Structure 1
Amino acid sequence: MSKVLYNSLGVSAVGIASYFWGKSGSNVPAGDTNVKTPTPPTGVAPVGSGTGAVGGSFDPALIRPQDFYKYGFPGPVHDLTTRGEFVSCYDRATRNPYWVVEHITQELIRRGEGVDRSKSVFKEDETIPLKFRNRLRDFFRSGYDRGHNAPAADAKYIQLAMDETFYLTNISPQVGEGFNRDYWAHLEDFGRRLTKSYDDVRIMTGPLYLPKKCADGKYRVEYEVIGSPPNIAVPTHFFKLIVGENKRDQGQKISYAAFVLPNDKIENLTPLTSFQVPLEALEKSSGLELLGKVPYYNKKDLCQEVKCEIIVREFLPQTQKVLALPGK
């Protein structure tokens, strides 16, 4: 970079790094004693393991990039956590879940004695190293809701299970009015209603960061980042993959439907099926392998078996219409 350009920017790369992450001096932030040290992958043939010299003067065995591991294996690290009602896989880079998987049944979604959402509070997940953790303060005045991936209403059978849905590793920034408090909540209710049609309902939910066409005709992935410093990615979209099973079915038969919704206001009159996407499209967008062990002849379109629609309960006190959230 030329000196003129450098001065015109008015900030150095070091300055940018200091603004976001503070001054370098230690690999571990003060007070962070919970840093995981992953082990390097095993079973991989070492690079340069051949013998003999090339041209009589160079031995390829001396090339050992894997020796970098002696400084510590860089990752990626997947923080996989099993809770009472769901399993979450956390993305340290975006500070969102990669995905969250739930298992719900009619019995599980019944409210247990004394279970009350008002007793639950959002909390940081201290199993995540401090430097990769999403913090409560990062959502303060961000303009976004702390949106559940596994909803609290899916874990009403015991207070602990509901409380666990409030860990920030299960949370993503979501548009509030028109999405998290409306259409998204009705989609969550649709998943619970499926327990009337299927013995077991398994739901995978997660954020997506999808490209859009810009003014110059090129496609780019653009998303907001919130927090102080800005470090939590605001997803452009969210997905739900819903799988229904019945015990009477033999041979691993399942019914499924995949939905991708924009993280934006959605009119409640929008048909849910307008967000249904082929499983392959979701795989390509998310980078996930989905339902790969189920033969194609054992997979059925869930929306061909049940009516895929949201239900908006409407109340009309006096002249004002209020849309009630279904068990949110």
Structure 2
Amino acid sequence: MKFKHLLFSPLMAALLLTSCSKEVTAPATQPVNLTVASRAVSGTKVITQTFDEGFESGSKTAYAAADVTLSSGSWNLNNALIGTSTSDPKVGSKSVRLTSTGTLGMNFNVTSGASTVTVRYAVYGSDGSSNFQLWVSSDSGSSYSQTGATVTASSSTLSTATFTVNQAGNLRFQLRKTTGGSNRINIDEFTINSYDNSSTGGGGSTGGSTTDNSNLLMGNPSGATTSTANSDNYLRDLTYFTQSYNRSKGEPNWTSWYVGASSLGSTDRSDNFRADTGLPSGWYEVSASSYSGSGFDRGHNCPSADRTSTTAANQATFLMSNMVPQAPNNNQQTWANLENYGRSLVTAGNEIYVIMGSYGQGGTGSNGGTTTTVDNGNVVVPSNIWKVIVVLANGNNDLSRVTSSTRVIAVNTPNINSINTDWKQYRCTVRSIEQATGYNLLSALPQSVQDAIETKVDNQ
């Protein structure tokens, strides 16, 4: 069942602009505290979207290995304690402090599986940096494997790490401090977002799925792969959106996602711009301040307001790997108007599949003049920013419902500050964007359907 009705060359650029109920459980003797952000689904299904352990209810003052009963169940802390001092970065009054090769692990399973796990982390006091990893077990703790990337804690200010898991069934997790010796790190707000391989709740299912609501339902535009050797067309499934990341450019080639009623809720904008520590080891991580003074905004690919069902969903959009340097007036006016229009289609009873990307090099921001790169050359300033929106009335079997008469909105804007604020002035054909980028944007559709909908300019 799918979720519905939920509060779930420069010449080419010039030519284009003219042509165009799951629950988290512990053993019966250990009650589980759920931060429930669930929504009713058409039919009877409900998804519990988050499990959150804040470590506020337990006490442990020594590093020696011991079990601690917390609101979610029993956890084992080894070379770890529950810190309460002013030097312990924390949300609330407590957080877990790890030293040496300390571990923090569940003694119970979550039965909802996990799409992502997020934690808050920081170094203790003035300690040096340390690395930590997330490990997962699907056999009740008999064996574990690392999931997601290794994270480095180097600041005493709390940051958020998001680990992509995408596993169903019974799981338990363990955080392991792997480097740093006697340096200490603090962990807080351990959150699990449940996994449903039949639908996506507020986010979008795993990349490549042909399931309704999946991020790549309309296809993989550039044939991106998960091989790190393919570093300029590297496929990344970040649960709430999927992207082709370009290591050389320091930004996505394209990003693809779904927006339905379940994607839109009441979660506030988190504004926690941050480096994406989930990139492959050794890749440059664009930081929150990398665009500072450049005259360009940190322009979202997948917008924050398209992901307001949960805090985790919203925070995922503030990874710097989801940004491009965007002229302020383009970002804050033209593009914002287009994004708002897309969400208005959803609230009017539709669901939309969105692909956004950029190409070219050289834009004009608020400082004037053409800029080709920012962040000491680590991030390319694109010349054009584009978007394709496939619009469907709420329903099921979405891919088969796309026909030659389906509304498709394609927009291609120059990345300049003197842009017209009316996005409709930049409508074009999907085919023209394909010609500029070399992508096959709606490749999952029959060729006859592509030929029909990709050659029309939206006029509604």
Shorter-chain TM-score range:
0.5 to 0.7
- Match in the other structure for 2:284: 132
1:93 touches 1:132 (CA, 8 Å); kept in 2?
A: no
1:124 touches 1:169 (CA, 8 Å); kept in 2?
A: yes
Q: Does 1:224 align with 2:372?
A: yes
Percent of aligned pairs with the same amino acid = 23
Q: Which runs of structure 2 are paired with 1:8-23 in the superposition (5 Å)?
A: none
Alpha-carbon distance in structure 1 between the residues aligned to 2:427 and 2:402: 23
Q: Which runs of structure 2 are paired with 1:1-328 in the superposition (5 Å)?
A: 74-76=229-231, 78-111=233-266, 115-117=267-269, 119-128=270-279, 129-176=281-328, 178-196=329-347, 199-209=350-360, 224-227=372-375, 229-246=376-393, 247=395, 251-253=401-403, 254-265=406-417, 266-268=419-421, 270=422, 272-292=423-443, 293-297=445-449, 299-300=452-453, 303-304=458-459, 307=460
SS of equivalent to 2:262 = coil
CA gap of 1:149–1:73, structure 2 versus 1, over 3 A, is closer
**Larger Rg over CA atoms:** 1
Q: For 1:118-140, what per-residue CA distance to the aligned partner results, in whole angstroms no more than 9, with x for missing partners?
A: x3401111122344332334222
Displacement of 1:230 after TM fit?
1.9
- Match in the other structure for 1:324: none
1:252 touches 1:294 (CA, 8 Å); kept in 2?
A: no
Displacement of 1:89 after TM fit?
1.7
CA gap of 1:252–1:278, structure 2 versus 1, over 3 A, is closer
User: Which structure's residues are more often helix, by fraction?
Assistant: 1
Alpha-carbon distance in structure 1 between the residues aligned to 2:361 and 2:379: 16
1:209 touches 1:223 (CA, 8 Å); kept in 2?
A: no
Aligned residue identity for 1:225? T
Displacement of 1:75 after TM fit?
3.7
Displacement of 1:258 after TM fit?
1.2
Displacement of 1:85 after TM fit?
2.5
User: Which structure's residues are more often strand, by fraction?
Assistant: 2
Displacement of 1:196 after TM fit?
4.2
Displacement of 1:79 after TM fit?
3.1
CA gap of 1:73–1:233, structure 2 versus 1, over 3 A, is closer
Alpha-carbon distance in structure 1 between the residues aligned to 2:228 and 2:276: 23
1:81 touches 1:89 (CA, 8 Å); kept in 2?
A: yes
1:223 touches 1:236 (CA, 8 Å); kept in 2?
A: no
- Paired residue total: 221
Displacement of 1:156 after TM fit?
0.5
Q: For 1:47-90, what per-residue CA distance to the aligned partner results, in whole angstroms no more than 9, with x for missing partners?
A: xxxxxxxxxxxxxxxxxxxxxxxxx9954453322234211221
Aligned residue identity for 1:294? P
- Match in the other structure for 2:43: none
Displacement of 1:251 after TM fit?
5.0
CA gap of 1:210–1:274, structure 2 versus 1, over 3 A, is farther
2:362 touches 2:382 (CA, 8 Å); kept in 1?
A: no
Q: Which moved more, 1:285-294 or 1:157-166?
A: 285-294
Displacement of 1:171 after TM fit?
0.5
Alpha-carbon distance in structure 1 between the residues aligned to 2:315 and 2:301: 14
CA gap of 1:230–1:160, structure 2 versus 1, over 3 A, is same
1:201 touches 1:244 (CA, 8 Å); kept in 2?
A: yes
Q: TM-score, normalised by structure 2?
A: 0.44
SS of equivalent to 1:123 = coil
Alpha-carbon distance in structure 2 between the residues aligned to 1:294 and 1:197: 28
Q: For 1:69-121, what per-residue CA distance to the aligned partner results, in whole angstroms no more than 9, with x for missing partners?
A: xxx9954453322234211221011111011111001232232xxx221x340
SS of equivalent to 2:263 = coil
Structure 2 unaligned segments of length 5 or more: list them. Answer: 1-130, 134-148, 151-226, 364-369
Alpha-carbon distance in structure 2 between the residues aligned to 1:260 and 1:296: 24
Alignment RMSD, CA only? 3.0
Alpha-carbon distance in structure 1 between the residues aligned to 2:362 and 2:323: 22
Aligned residue identity for 2:373? V
Alpha-carbon distance in structure 1 between the residues aligned to 2:433 and 2:349: 23
Q: TM-score, normalised by structure 1?
A: 0.60
Displacement of 1:302 after TM fit?
7.9
Alpha-carbon distance in structure 2 between the residues aligned to 1:297 and 1:151: 28
Aligned residue identity for 2:264? I
